[in-house]
Chains A and B, each alone.
Chain A
Amino acid sequence: MSNTTKSPEEAFAEGMAGTVVPDVSSKQDKTRSLAQDALRDLIRRPMFIVSGILIVAILIIASFPTLFTSVDPLACDLKHSMEGPSGSAWFGYNFQGCDVYSQTIYGTRNSIIVGVLTTIFSLIIGGLVGVLGGFFGKWTDALLSFVTNVFFGLPLLLAAIVILNNFRDEKGMRNAGVMAVVLTLSVVGWMSMARVMRGAVMQVKQADYVAAARSLGASTSRMMFRHVLPNSITPLIVVATISLGAVIGAEATLSFLGIGIRPPAISWGVMISEAQGRISQGLHPLLFPSGMLTITVLAFIMLGDAVRDAFDPKLR
């Protein structure tokens, strides 16, 4: 990166870094930290409430699909092929005669697992790279920034395709399991988190309380993990929430290209990919998984937006 210009991520991180002031106030006086302020603010936002309810509902569906359907998603009967929605099958049947509603419910788990785990992994990789680079500066930063830039140069989708192309089953067909998809998307998706974290850490590092900790003789690791990290993590959390939605979409795209999760495993991407060739015969096998996918992505993006607004001091 050049010294003269800031990437949008860094500018964004600088705007938000250090907004969570360490809570030094005792319980008696009524001063609240910005984090508490933001939380109070959040629970009053309709966008936060709506997206929160949606996400909780989706998580319940993902954890306990049997609560919502008793139909086996893989029990398909060709005589029902492409039948429209009805009382017995709310979302109708797909080309293979499988119950679309049941598949949509069971497909939730894989999509959510990929979204959540990928985000956690890239949060760890990106956060670590960003903290180390931002905190130590000098050659550590130069090296880590270089690595970040190299990975940034790889187009995400292409890199993911090239990596996942290596996962084959016994017959030599492309068949990446859920974990392969998670690891691949994490490896190619951590860079913007690293940049956000680096920008935030570089700013927080200069704060007075860090200097105070240093002069009190705090060790490097204590300064890094007790002082700098908690105060610079907010922008990272916000970016992570928003990117969670994007990851779920990316998983679907990979399945659509025939490279990510493959049947008989079910995910929304797999369902959409199977349905898309037969739109002219019936829209419902495409419509319902796409709808669920859209709602889920939307919920996470809205949550991220709401959290960002609540923590952004400029908007107060």
Chain B
Amino acid sequence: MTVASERPLTAMIDPAIGPPNCAAYERAGGWQAARLALGSLTPAEIIDRVTRSKLRGRGGAGFGTGQKWSFVPKEPASERRKYLIANADEMEPGTFKDRWLLEGNPLQLVEGMILAAYAVQAGHGIVFLRGEYQEACVRLHRAIGEARQQGWLGENILGSGFTFDIHVHSSAGRYICGEETALLTALEGRRATPRSKPPFPQTGGLWGAPSVVNNVETLCNLPHIIANGPEWFAGLGLGEDGGTKIYGVSGRVAKPGAWELPIGTPLRQIIEDHAGGMRPGYQLRALLPGGASTAFIDATALDVAMDYGSVEKAGSRLGTGMAIILDDRTCPIGMIRNLEHFFAKESCGWCTPCRDGLPWVERLLDAIEDGTGREEDMEQLDRHARMLGAPGRTFCAHAPGAMAPLASGLKLFAADFAAHIQQGRCPHHAGAGP
């Protein structure tokens, strides 16, 4: 960008004006990176810069982006069918960051995809968009159409010899499609169950071809990394990780919302300064730091820096960086029940523990919350948290993700569980009230 912004991802987003068109995008510094890359950088140089920028996947798993690309076979796009896929299937409960980027500045994603595609020499781009994001779909189509018209997509972009175009796939609602191999299966018009690895998507992905799946936020960082340099980007982070991160807070805070902040911003700062602290009459009891599939951390851990390593040390995961707040007047068991209901329903049905274990958990929580819980139910919950939570026991990470809030909740809210069972009712009554 002409002036390297401290919040590069969202600098151009202004809901009052709407997303920039190509010209406005260019005026604000857009297309510089694409011009630079296609004009004078080799794919290897781009991968190197992105690796040095310390950019890690923003979808939740946090895998190094440059490293992920490095596994893709190196043939030029013209010689081998390869895919670059933007994962815009934002379905993690409590998460609303990619929608912001998609609706606010779709051309930024387009440019990011061009850069990523050039880096891995993929000729085919796909945005895998969740079905409910209708407005994002319209804006994305418009942006892609315009970019195509202006020569940023299509044959021989900028005379570089590189050919790349983007197709938007509107999905039809399935949380598991956010898992990259399930996403590929969905794109093939099959039941979107995850695939085994190997083959990793980078070598055998969509229709068996090398494919890279990157989160929207990850891709949107690329133009800024290329334009301003990896060192600049790495320097944006407050800790180990590079760049900014979109953080968000939902629940009973004064100002729920999302903000682009340096990665590693302390959680307390996000909640108190940006979300305005708790609403009057509510105390923060615990929170899920990065979406529904992260473990609870309690109010004593608010000083954790929101980067991958620090949150992990605190016993949870950065996940999507979108925190969900449990207040003192909301029943924690009700909340966990709600989460497990979601995970049970969104299980793809492929592997036994997830398919049949999660509904069991859900029913146990139903019983406890409805006042018919028994002492032995706690054993069952513990057993499930243990057996479904450990990696490698289920086919994919869906069930371990589902067990993160349960396992942490069982420890954190042991007294609440006991009270429910002993009293035969939920002490919070209906759980949630105005």
Interaction A to B: no
